[in-house]
Amino acid sequence: MKKIFLILTVIPLIVASCDFLDVVPEDTATTSDMYSSQMQAERTLNRVYGYLPYQIGFHYYPDSFLGGEIVSFYENAVRHATWKGMLHGEESANSTYFGAWSTATATKSNAQKYNLYKGIRDAWNFINNVGSVPGLDAATAIRYTGEAYYLIGVLHWILMEHYGPVVIVDHEVSINAPASEFIVQRSSWDECAAFVCRMFDEAAYRLPATRQDKEVGRATSVAAKAYKACVLVYTASPLVNGNTDFADFLNYDGTPLISQTYDPGKWQDALDALGDAITFAETNGYHLWTDPASAALPDKDRGRNNYYKLFIQPTTNEGNKCEYLVSSCFHDGSDTPYGYFNYYLQRYGVPRTWNGATGTDVDSFRPQNTPTMQAVCTFLTEDGLPLWADPKTKAGFAANHLLDIAPGDSTARLHRGRDPRFYASIAFDRGNIIYNGSDKNYIHTRAGEFHGYCGSRTLYHSATGYYFQKYVSESTQFDETNKNFKPVNYRMPVLRLAELYLNYAEAYFELNGSLDATSIMYIDKVRTRAGLPSFSDSWALAGGIPTGDNLRQALRAEISAEVCLEGRAYDNYRRWKVAHEYLGSTPMELNTRSSDSSFKLSDGPQSAADFYRLVPLKEIAPRTFTYPRNYWYAIPITEIKINHKLVQNPGY
């Protein structure tokens, strides 16, 4: 295994300009200051937490929007929506909007810079020095050390998700190490995965299983085991398990960076880790969250409320911490960091509101970020089947007839008879949305209508015809009198127990070609919470549980529906090696701006027939997302110039 070792001091000039080798401390505190007391040591550890990106975010992290489930309207320049850089060909080895490997090339306007290698460096320094803290009891030292190992694992994993195989940093090296030790090559994906899993193992036995109060969100043994399982699921998946498309993706010494021989044993490793993580989590009180007030309601209403309310638990309640294995939070438990994504989706993902004096109030809600048709079609039907498989919808789905309006109805067939999670997540034309102090806000999104296109960019509207319900509560309000926006503050999920249940079923299938009773039990746990029939009952309506690739697609549909709009699609589509199919061409959306040449806003609202047509989404530029180039970001050219043993990612 090829590794690199960092130190918390100045290294020879030959590598001093290399960003991931930049070892100048973030402040001027000496090592003795940083570990002079338990309070100072905890501040040092908190600083390592501070290197974690906002893993769910509109502008700060690419995953939330780059999976194709959310889009911002076309006038949003890339500098305001950095995720667009990967879609529209603005990412390169010379310049990036997302600097995680190195910030040196993150020079574009509003580029996000994350010094992840510095965080890893500081974590190793912490491990090596925490034992010297005066008066620190052994149990606390062990827990602190577990947190540092956990952060080393997470920071490496974030690098792997976005850059593929990376340079491993596995300990501090002596201050007297020669500069040549820093000129090393990348480790293979499998070596990286094995190292990260060891870090999570080191963390798991040192950490508590749960956290309380303001510590919720800090590292736990449950989170470490969950992350390990996710690493192994990714490692078993088609992108990096025997992917011969990467035959020429060779390291400096000529060895493959991606395994060239498919190994089904990797699915066994994933299955074992998932089973361990699930059992350990359940033993320690984790379970799928449900709404106690909805327990007696009919399945559809109960399922909708369970799923909807799961994501709007305020930080003062923490009701969903039983299911959130990893959530976005800051190291000190403060509320501010949660607010970024909350704020953007709650203010910029819902319809405009009414001010009696002026009509539309553009100071309040400004819909710019909205769910896509891809997200709408990801959710299942009320019978628990994908649109392409349900006998009630498959023909209409194939022929785009689901956009028809049934006699006597006011909205498309696509919006009727759907999975309760759809209604908990998506607000649609002639439907209802809960926000701004009311649970009864009916939407009219056709051009010329109150919530639709009105001929002006300043009168913000949905680019797709849809709005968010997920993450938006009745308490999401705008005070018209004081012009004060009031979002609800809550943690965003990074990993949930529900995802582990469904990944278990996927891993079992990929290993055995079928499902066992445990796999179906886990699927049905998720379905029952969502108010859907059992997996077997649903598929009985379509001729029985499918086999082969059809079952694979059915399981992927289960995963995608459950975690839709959570930033997980980007990782899942890439590991399944299908991201270019979803992201490589302009998506189709509802005809929100009307392409009818005879339509004039002054003539009145757009007709339903004109609105309910699929048209290409208006975007700033053609999409250039291709396989394999855009599956990972480029290694910064500045790094390759300094370290000649670094090889570039395919396509750059």
Tens-digit pLDDT profile for residues 464-511: 999 999 999 999 998 888 888 888 888 889 999 999 999 999 999 999
Q: What is the pLDDT of residue 607?
A: 93
Q: pLDDT at position 37, please?
A: 95
The pLDDT of residue 488 is 84
* Inside any domain, residue 432: yes
For residue 576, the one-letter residue type is W
Distance CA 566, CA 499 (A): 11
Q: Give pLDDT, residue 602.
A: 76
Q: Is residue 631 one of the residues assigned to a domain? A: no
The larger pLDDT score, comparing residue 512 to residue 14, is at: 512
Q: Kind and range of the H or E element at 310?
A: helix 299-310
More confident site: 457 or 489: 489
For residue 450, name the pLDDT band (cuts at 50, 70, 90): confident
According to DSSP, the β-strands at 324-327 and 493-496 are antiparallel
Triad 217, 222, 225: Cα angle to 5°: 120
Per-residue pLDDT at 175: 63
**Average predicted confidence (pLDDT) for the chain:** 89
The token pair at 46 is: 């908190």
- Of the given ranges (140-149, 158-167, 260-269, 307-316), which has the lowest mean pLDDT? 307-316
Mean pLDDT of 324-334: 66
Task: Please report, as a single letter, which amino acid is at residue 103.
Answer: T
> Is the per-residue pLDDT at 168 higher than 60?
yes
> Which of 79-93, 516-530, 638-652 is predicted least confidently?
79-93
Q: Is residue 300 part of a domain?
A: no
CA dist 492 and 535 (Å) reads 28
- Of all residues in the chain, the percent with pLDDT exceeding 70 is 89
Residue 454 has pLDDT above 90, yes or no: no
Q: Which amino acid is at 313?
A: Q
Give yes or no for residue 21 having a pLDDT over 50: no
Domain that holds residue 366: 336-488
> Quick check: bond before 256 cis, omega within 30?
no
Q: What is the mean pLDDT of residues 230-241?
A: 98
pLDDT beyond 70 at 24: no
Asked if the structure places residue 481 within a domain, the reply is yes
Q: Is residue 351 part of a domain?
A: yes
Given a cut of 50, whether residue 333 has pLDDT beyond it is: no
Phi/psi-derived region of residue 407, left when phi > 0, alpha when psi is between -120 and 50, beta in every other case: beta
Cβ atoms of 364 and 489 closer than 8 Å: no
State yes or no: pLDDT of 610 exceeds 80: yes
For residue 409, pLDDT over 70 is answered with yes
Range 347-362 average pLDDT: 72
**Between 455 and 112, the higher pLDDT residue:** 112
pLDDT category of residue 49 using cuts at 50, 70 and 90: very high
User: Do 399 and 389 touch, CB atoms closer than 8 A?
Assistant: no
Tell me, yes or no, whether 459 lies in a domain: yes
In the predicted model, is pLDDT for residue 215 greater than 50? yes
Stretch 59-82: mean pLDDT, rounded? 84
pTM of the full structure: 0.93
- What's residue 489's pLDDT? 80
For residue 636, what pLDDT band results from cuts at 50, 70 and 90? Answer: very high
Statement: residue 9 has pLDDT above 70: no
pLDDT band at 20 (very low <50, low <70, confident <90, very high): very low
Q: How far apart are CA 188 and CA 168, in angstroms?
A: 10
The model's pLDDT over 394-407, given as tens digits with 9 standing for 90+, comes to 999 998 899 999 99
Quick check: 536 pLDDT over 70?
yes
**Dihedral of CA 642/646/647/652: which sign?**
negative
| Residue-level pLDDT at 202 | 98
pLDDT at 532 over 50: yes
Band the pLDDT of 213: cuts 50, 70, 90: confident
Asked if residue 109 lies in contact with residue 95, where contact means CB atoms within 8 angstroms, the answer is no
What is the pLDDT, as a whole number, of residue 483?
A: 84
The pLDDT of residue 585: 93
Is the pLDDT score of 29 beyond 80?
A: no
Give the pLDDT band of residue 33 (cuts 50, 70, 90). Answer: confident
pLDDT on residue 339: 45
Residue 310 and residue 219: Cα distance in Å, rounded? 21
Given a cut of 60, whether residue 337 has pLDDT beyond it is: no
pLDDT at position 17 is 28
Q: Which of 22-36, 123-137, 152-166, 307-321 has the lowest mean pLDDT?
A: 22-36
Higher pLDDT, 611 or 319: 611
Closest CA to 147 of 130, 132, 160: 130
Asked if residue 14 has pLDDT above 70, the reply is no
Look at the block and give the residue holding tokens 């999570």: 200
What's the number of domains the chain is made of? 1
Domain presence at residue 196? no
d(CA 146, CA 219): 8
pLDDT in tens, 383-394: 999 999 999 999
C-alpha 122/C-alpha 8 separation (Å) is: 7
With bands split at pLDDT 50, 70 and 90, how would you rate the model's confidence at 595?
confident
Q: What pLDDT score does 629 carry?
A: 96
Average pLDDT over residues 78-99: 89
Mean pLDDT of 152-160: 97
- Residues 255, 258: Cα–Cα separation, whole Å: 9
| The pLDDT value given to residue 281 | 98
Residue 190, pLDDT > 70, answer yes
pLDDT value of position 138: 96
Domain-embedded: residue 104 = no
